[in-house]
Amino acid sequence: MEFEYSVSNENGILNVYLKGFLDASNAVGLMEEMKKYVGISVTRIVFHAKELEYIASSGLRVIIYTKQKIGYEAEVILKEPQAAVISVFEMSGLINFVTIE
Amino acid sequence: MVALTKKAVIENLNPLINLILDRIADSVALQKKECNLIRILCEELLINIIRYAYEESGDMTVEVIVDKEESMIRFCFIDSGMSFDPLEQEKPDITANIMERPVGGLGIFMVREIADSVAYERSGNQNKLTVTMSYQTEEENKNEK
């Protein structure tokens, strides 16, 4: 299942664009990409999820890692998530730790 | 009942899940959100087999039965790897602060949230995890609209 991502850091805002199906087979690649940003100073981490069709525990693992290792002082935003993604965040309890915009 | 088997490698994760959904679609038309939940359920259980069941290599099998009378789907995830009961894993505290959450542990939790029932059995040299999930009938779908 197709998955694309891109990450950019602009003035302390980390933008993570997600498109397609974030599953166990491709979450590793995204995790490796996020590791590159450990140590940088960020105020906001924005996961752009409008085109994200699917996420499961492997993807949630990346979100948790990003918050714990990169954005421990940052606000984590989930931008325009689809219903399927929101339900997974609700199921896992992570909905309480992100801001939906 | 249909039994679908593939070698337990990550490259087969999505092909097997797609096969499962196709076989279910042969019997019943599910809503998109139900298909999504089935995809998550299958991924979480199959990835355990792929990652942990075998030292070398082995197969992963999913038996699927659509029970139209009960509006329920029964899955049985089978592997011949080392004895492992995923239900014995400690449940994550989903109320815990995100800074204190362990990075893993959510997979089986999500399966329990999605499924109506989950049961493990060690049978001979096989791990068998049986999961049931009810679905909304077409009648119920129509009434919703």
- What separation in angstroms does the CA of B22 have from each of A53, B41, B64, B114? 19, 15, 11, 20
B86 in A contact zone (CB under 8 Å) = no
Chain A residue numbers touching B114 (CB-CB < 8 A): 91
How far is the C-alpha of B129 from the C-alpha of B123, rounded, in Å? Answer: 10
Minimal C-alpha gap between B99 and chain A (Å): 5
Which H helix or E strand runs over B36?
Answer: helix B32-48
> Is the separation of the CB atoms in A68 and A39 below 8 Å?
no
Q: How far apart are CA B21 and CA B66, in angstroms?
A: 11
By the CB < 8 Å criterion, does A64 face chain B?
Answer: yes
What Rg value do the Cα atoms of chain A yield, rounded?
A: 12
- Per-residue pLDDT of A50-95, as tens digits, reads 999 999 999 999 999 998 889 888 999 999 999 999 999 999 989 9
Please report the pLDDT score of residue B101 as a whole number. Answer: 66
Local structure of B41: helix, strand or coil:
helix
Minimal C-alpha gap between B35 and chain A (Å): 10
**Closest residue on chain B to A92 (Cα):** B94
Residue A1 is predicted with a pLDDT of 78
Residues in chain A closer than 8 A to B110 (CB atoms): 56-57, 88, 91-92
Position A73 scores a pLDDT of: 85
pLDDT at B143: 74
Contact status of B9 with chain A (Cβ, < 8 Å): no
The verdict on pTM exceeding 0.90 is yes
Average pLDDT, chain A: 94
Token output for B6: 């593939």
Chain B residues close to A65, C-beta within 8 Å: 103
Antiparallel, parallel or unpaired: β A75-79 and A99-100: parallel
ipTM of the predicted structure?
0.92
Mutate to test the interface with A, among B48, B98, B108 (most CBs of A within 10 A): B98
Tell me, what's the pLDDT at A97? 87
- Closest residue to B13, CB basis, from A24, A67, A96: A24
Backbone angles phi, psi at B103, to 5 degrees: -70, -25
Going by C-alpha positions, the residue among A37, A35, A92 that lies closest to residue B44 is A92
Residues of chain B with pLDDT under 50: none
